[in-house]
Amino acid sequence: MTINLKHLIKSGIPKYLAISDAIETAIYCGDLLAGARLPTHRELADQLNVSVQTVSNAYAHAEKKGLVNAWVGSGTFVSNYQIEKEAEFMLIEDRDTEARPIDLSIAHPVCTTQHKQLFNNALMKIAQSDTNVLIREARSIQGQKHHIEAAAEWLGIQKIPVERDRIVLCNGASQGLMLALATVTRQGDLVACEDLVDHGLIARSRILNFKLCGLPTDREGIIPEAFEMACQQNTIKALCCTPSMSNPTSSHMSLERRQSIADVARRYNVLIIEDDVYGALEPDRVPPLSSFLPDQAFYVTSLTKTVAPGLRVGFMVVPKHLLQHTISRMAAYSWMATPILFEVAALWIKDGTLKRLIEFEQKEFAIRQRLAKELLAGFEYDCHPNGMHLWLSLPEGWGADELVATAQKANVLITGYQPFIVDQGLRLNRVRISLGVESSRYRFKYGLKLLADMLNSVPPPTHFLL
């Protein structure tokens, strides 16, 4: 086969290693698929202007790493590249715990140097294509046609098959949620939500001047009877919720719970605004809440929590009768979403890179959750097996503010409960620990070990925390 490895070959290392590394990168990027036949030794040597022996050494090294299989008389073929190998390939082992704080404070996917390489490779591919449409097209405000087609393919994988004309592309889920809320609410309207919510919703309520009605939850999220009681006692304009791995509590609605919530919303004509930024982290995911109320729900997701925080690629599915209202607000806010990032996303959806990146996140968060279970043995917390947070209950003697301050003194950053409370009079003895900011498992484990040591000790006198 013909494959261009030149742009992947690094300088400063032996040529055979550089070629082997380039093959590994091409496999991970999806340029080389399992079972693909590689060029003969002579063909690749001619392409790269190296000796046949150099290529032979490169193929032998790649075979030792499990990347390829050589069959005498048939050629060299790409092996089945396993997720376990991908995880090793993606991660780095950074043992520096002194130069900067260990950050366990931000909702963040595990983002490594290989993400950067994949992004760079995607940009190089895009640069070799016709980029005229990316910089000259000012319509459609909803998004360019081929980007929407890729979005529809991805949404189908997320178990929300949808007509393409209901999709609106946005600059991340934050913008999508703002658009949905601005479309359906007016000043003074009441929006129901979990009693502990992402701080972004609290900020949006203040900007748009609607009121939040916090609903009690359990480990499966909002309790249907509480939602129905709120609908009976008040005029609820919308329910804004995160059914999958809710932030900060990690509550996760079962299929039955989602159906029950949808039934209540249908009976009382309450619009649903679903924030599904974490849903793709569940390997065999439950269908989104919006799938049960397609004409009564806004569905919002993005790649910022499941791939990379700077990939502000958001997908909205809008009820048909509110589509033009939403598009008008999109035009007022930013005219349209930035096309270049959606070009990267479309490329990754089509070539399978997005699927592999999310499989990596699923596996890595599962590993980190297991490590947390070992390191925090004896402490109570809520989590999801593939989630990026722990919602930790503090032992007697510790307060949330004390632990946040003590941890900061030890160069570990965590988040207290205050940003997530709808009822500002509520006091909790909880902190949120996020598992994804540190790409190094060593730093992640070291940070949790420090926290465990703190929690097993007596809090320091308050004046030492000033």
Q: For 248-282, how does the pLDDT look when each residue is reduced to its tens digit (9 = 90+)?
A: 999 999 999 999 999 999 999 999 999 999 999 99
Q: Are residues 98 and 186 in the same domain?
A: no
Provide the 8-state DSSP code for 231.
Answer: H
Pair (146, 73) in one structural domain: no
What are the tokens at 164? 């393409």
Residue 215 lies in a domain: yes
Nearest to 445 by CA among 106, 93, 182, 170: 93
Q: Same structural domain for residues 62 and 97?
A: no
pLDDT per residue as tens digits for the range 143-155 = 999 999 999 999 9
pLDDT of residue 119: 95
Look at the chain and report how many structural domains it folds into: 3
Q: Let me know if residue 124 belongs to a domain.
A: no
Q: Could you tell me the CATH number of the domain that includes residue 22?
A: 1.10.10.10
Instruction: Say yes or no: 288 and 210 in one domain.
Output: yes
Question: pLDDT tens, 167-225?
Answer: 999 999 999 999 999 999 999 999 999 999 999 999 999 999 999 999 999 999 999 99
Q: Quick one: 209 and 98 in the same domain?
A: no
Range of the domain at 261: 131-351
Helices then strands, each counted (H, E), the chain: 16, 17
Q: Is residue 121 one of the residues assigned to a domain? A: no
**Do 23 and 49 have their domain in common?**
yes
Q: 280 with 401, same domain?
A: no
pLDDT at 94: 67
Q: Are residues 400 and 327 in the same domain?
A: no
- Which residues in 195-254 belong to E strands, given as ranges? 211-215, 217-218, 221-222, 236-241
Shared domain for 336 and 428, answered yes or no, is: no
CB-based contacts of 328-334 (< 8 A; 24+ apart in sequence) = 329/179, 329/182, 329/183, 330/141, 330/142, 330/168, 330/170, 330/179, 331/141, 333/175, 333/178, 333/179, 334/171, 334/175
In a domain, 118, yes or no: no
pLDDT digits (tens, 9 = 90+) for 11-51: 778 889 889 988 888 887 667 877 778 899 998 998 898 99
Q: What is the mean pLDDT of the chain?
A: 91
Q: Which residues pair with 433 in a beta bridge?
A: 390
C-alpha 439/C-alpha 106 separation (Å) is 13
> 424 pLDDT exceeds 50?
yes
Residue 117 belongs to some domain of the structure: no
The rounded distance, in Å, linking the Cα atoms of 294 and 266 is 11
* Residue 23 and residue 42 share a domain: yes
> Going by DSSP bridges, is the β-strand pair 381-382/68-71 parallel, antiparallel, or unpaired?
unpaired
pLDDT exceeds cutoff 70 at 131: yes
**pLDDT value at residue 83:** 39
Assign 284 a pLDDT band (cuts: 50, 70, 90): confident
As a whole number, mean pLDDT of residues 344-361 equals 95
Residue at a domain's end among 283, 317, 351: 351
Q: Which of 319, 351, 383 is the last residue of a domain?
A: 351
- End of a domain among 326, 351, 376? 351
Residue 73 sits in the same domain as residue 100: no
What residues contact 131, with CB distance under 8 A and at least 6 apart?
none
**Are residues 347 and 210 located together in one domain of the fold?**
yes
Could you tell me which residues are beta bridge partners of residue 68?
78
- Of 82-96, 366-380, 403-417, minimum mean pLDDT range: 82-96
- Give the H/E segment covering residue 314: strand 314-317
**Residue 132 CA from chain centroid, whole number:** 30
Query: Within a domain: residue 120?
Result: no
| Residue from 399, 406, 394, 398 nearest 466 by CA | 406
Task: Report which of 107, 95, 106, 108 is spatially closest to residue 441, judged by C-alpha positions.
Answer: 95
Residue 113: inside a domain: no
Contact 182, 329 (CB under 8 A): yes
404 belongs to a structural domain: yes
